[in-house]
Chains A and B, each alone.
Chain A
Amino acid sequence: MIEDSKHKPPRWAEKLLSWYCKPELLEDLQGDLNEYFQRNVKAKGVKRAKLIYIIDVFKFFRLYTIRKPKFVNLLIQWIMIGSYIKTSGRNIVRNKLFSSINIIGLAVSMSVGLLLISMLSDIYSYDKFNEHHARIYRVLSRFEFNGDKSNNFMATTSIRAGQAIDEKLTGQEAVAIFRAGFEGDMSFDDKALPLRGFWANENLFSVFTFPLIEGDPNTALKEPFSVVLTEESAMKLFGSTDVVGKILYRNKDKAYTVTGVMKDVPRFSHMRFQMLGSLSTRAILLENEPREQAWDNIWQTWVYLLIPGNVNLEQYQASLDQLSNNEGKDLKNIHIQFRLQPMDDIMLGERLGNQIGQTMGSTMAWVFTGLAFVVMLSACFNYTNLSIARSIRRYREVGVRKVIGALSRNVRTQFLFESMVISLLSLVAAFGLFLLLRPHLIGLEADMQELFVLELSPMVVVAFILFALLVGIAAGFVPALHFSHINAIQAMKNIAQIGGAKKLTGRKVLIVFQYCLSLILIIGTVLIYKQYQYYLNYDLGFSSENIINIRLQGNKAAPLKKILNEMPEVKAISTSVLLNGLNDYWGSDVKNPENPQDSSFVFANKVDENFIPLHEYQLLTGRNFIPKAAEDAREDEVIVNEALLKRFNLGDKNSALGETILVEGNELKIIGVVHEFQYGRVANQTANEVMIRYTNREAEYLNVKIESTDLVGTYDKIAAHWKKLDNVHPFEANFYDHQIEESFRGLKASIKLAGFISFLAISIASLGLLGMVVFTSEMRMREVSIRKVMGASEANLIILLGRNFVALLAISAAISLPLTYWLFRNVMQTRMVHKAPLSYLDGVIAVTAVLVLACIMISSQTWKVARTNPAEVLKSE
């Protein structure tokens, strides 16, 4: 018998049973189950017995065993709501300080939550305008060289892949292909309009829901040289949408027939365009271009599939793999791996290269959710902490309620109700803040403007209210439990004895936890800012000072160069096809002439002879390019970096001079070796092997070095000259330094956001601390007065009252400072290419600033208490 009682059935199952079972049946049932349980322990072992017990508890959940909800109870709750509202209201008014701390804290943090909700709602609305959005998949591809699977998947694939899927696979309903590059000036009569768009195949309109106002969706993009305009572009060009059959010239060159006018691309579409050109045009324009149909040309085409719901995706994936093996078998060492991505996952999905438009990315979403959660938690802690600290004042109320007949349940409901009232009041304030913050959040960065509208919809409003109620429950849960466990008799008998020191450790832990979170946020922000500064001041290996880069937008370089050279402020001008040190990448395959099998993709820039001196690139050996006058001169020289020499085993920098490499069929002689420089953005994994090629024909940018005291004035002058040459395209130019800074604008925006949220977090934590200090000081009023009468000085009293809090702050600082540095070094920086050196000084300064502020707050409150006249306090006893 003694052995029997050693094992007990799972407690939660027992509780579940007693919760749902009718009281009159309960005891019998419990006994029966227990008896069986003991039998099973002997026969089948403890584990089985417990499992059987749990199953039995669920099995007994039957109509005749379950407790019927008592109508009376519901009625009582209903009647009591009036009373709850009254007491909540009175309490809010009675403790103005505490109520306002709670409401402000909750409101501030909830406004962040509201922003998050509306952001997520926006993201969720993306692409839902498509009738078949849940069945549309995008084909991702991965470039694998020699079986190396370490590359990331790209959002793009090849044109041939799209066409091969359409022709050879049967699982899909339709295939839509977008190819980048259909853009330019579309002109009609003498009116020209620069438009952007894609080349697209004829099935596009069967996959996506883009309704046509004019034209036939089935044939609009079928014939070569067809163009479909959006309503907006058509209105701008023609002033009407009834334009099917009109002829447009693209870049004053080829003629295109308008075959359709579609409704504008909806705001919440992950791709945006102003026109679409028929993909069949490319087959004619680029007939002799071998790369056009190459299986591994996977960088500029997006392919979307409409797949019927009953198709097994695993099987479909297998047929894609099969297709890739068949089609790509001519390619040596290269394999293209495909994968399907549901369209609904695009906006919040992984970060893929070559996205078709802006995406939010899961990291950003998680970080923002995490920050919002931390701030929310902090505000809830305040509520919990202050309510429990103050609970002493309400013990009598709860005692009376219980004596009259309130059950724990009723008290719990009452306090939860109260916290929900407060959180709903906060919601009103939070909503005001939300309206105030919204434009700032959207305006934080250009990308945000692209992505978000943050408009209210009935769904969002409902979500707001539910959110507020949830916050109320989260904040009030612990206090409600605390109050409901009060013993009525004790509460009535002697109030001073309970409460008091009890649970003080719990509250201290909460304060430390809260301050730790806030400090981690602040230190983290400071460290990210340091990293940002480090990027901006990174030695790029060339000079970017006082250089204006002008995008030529299709114009020839020579005429503009001629005009600008006449300006006294202009010191030098060079041309390039892209800008180094930013997010521009371009390159081609380079072969070793000794061994044509040995080839590798090398990043490159094409420049003129002024480029290297103007940017002060350092040549380790060799010379700069010698200008060539003839426009059709053959390219025969190249300047490379040391990494390239190493890659092709061309010896050291001196012996490599005069060696040749094979680029696009040309043998290029190495005439110089350039010192290491940043080809791409400092934050990105930079291309190791880089070459600088010479051209006197191609130029995308004019790099103008100016020397002037009035930089802005010079810029304006250049802009005026541009206008005279080209009145179609707006002047697009910028200072190089500014462009480098701009390339980090995402990081800058995150710093601003993180800074703002950590500011909120620390404010909320400080509010909570203030509340606690006020409360404890008031509680010790009598003690302070007696000490004062006995001769304690004000300084003594301030130290007495404040030292506990200062100790708590010191503990939080001691935890958070090393923790943040550790996290930053081992989590954040592991993925960074150029890591900023971290100094503890920055963190210490940030922490000190916060702690000094907190100390000032603590001492000002304690000072107030210490200064009170002891006679006033003691008199009332």
Chain B
Amino acid sequence: MIDFSLTKRERKLQRMANDAARKLIRPIARYYDDYEHEHDEIKERDAIRQAQADIGMQSLTLLRQLGKEPGTDLSGIVATEEYYWGDAGVSLGAPNVGLGNAAIFAVGTKEQIERFGRKYTAMAITEPGAGSDSAAIRATAKLDQSTNEWVLNGEKIFVTGADRCEAVVVWASLDRSQGRAAIKSFVVEKGTPGFTLTKLENKCGIRASDTGSFALEDCRIPYDNILGTPEIKVKKGGFQGVMKTFDMTRPLVAIQAIGVARAALDFTKEKLEVAGYTFPYDRPLGELSVIQHTVLEMEANLEVARLLTYRAVAMMNQGLRNSLEASMSKAKAGRSATLVTQKCVALLGPLGYSREWLVEKWMRDSKITDLFEGTGQIQMLIIARTILGFQREQLK
């Protein structure tokens, strides 16, 4: 039955997360944007640790419920919005909420969740030669039957949390001649010989979260570290195992986008209100100024993005297939957040552009949500193929 209400528990967790965002995260947002890689030497580092531990602890529980208990609620998603409203970089850098964790909860066995669930796990898909086209990845995994170990080789870039994480879910091919069906994901723990962090990126935004590259050189991991089946099902569904992760992570990125955009919109409205603007909901178009109308449009877009996201998660919780809805939520939220934050900077004029305020940072931060976990254009491609019933050969 159609119902838009949040439960008592959801609202409580929303309040708690907002409280943490307000007290712990927002105050350090600018600082960790300024000191992208140097904060280990800075005495305030305790602040970020505390904030992130707080998010991590709460999110771990939420994440676990989000993926594994059918019929559970939207607590994880509403709390995530609040954390990202606080700050995207700090929240993204929090332990235990890496995309790898999401992957483990989405496709891992009970035993794997027990082994890796509490570790901060990043996700390594992208390679220098393969971004959106994740089927084109070149990293390989070969089974050494004498030791029953997987031997991984390859290079991974743009790994969120590469530095701070404790383990990484690595996408690699069992047999490059068999295409996408042969791509599997493997949990590689930090400290495994042959697994080296080679580079940390300097980014446009979300600087409190580190992004890095890994080299895999004859890196050996136990057989049981493979997520899903090692079988190569060429005909159908082979790639689905790894792609299923996206059904969970895409709405997660969507809500991140909404959190950042709402931060910008809340702040912009506050400043405009101080300057004498009001934002009535009962005035006709002709009576609204451009600024008032723009704000209403931004609100409507964020509401739509949020509802699409709630729907994608609610469907997953109900055990319904949600790939289409997950892509819709990500496409709408990523694009809306990008545009909303850009508009907020513009609406506040020279002050909006200034680093005195966080609006310019939110504009930089939000952009990533239309890029990672599949660009907005990739989402549109997925939506289009689904509604048309087209295979990839029919719509490239």
A and B: partners? Answer: no
Interface residues of A (CB under 8 A from B): none
Interface residues of B (CB under 8 A from A): none
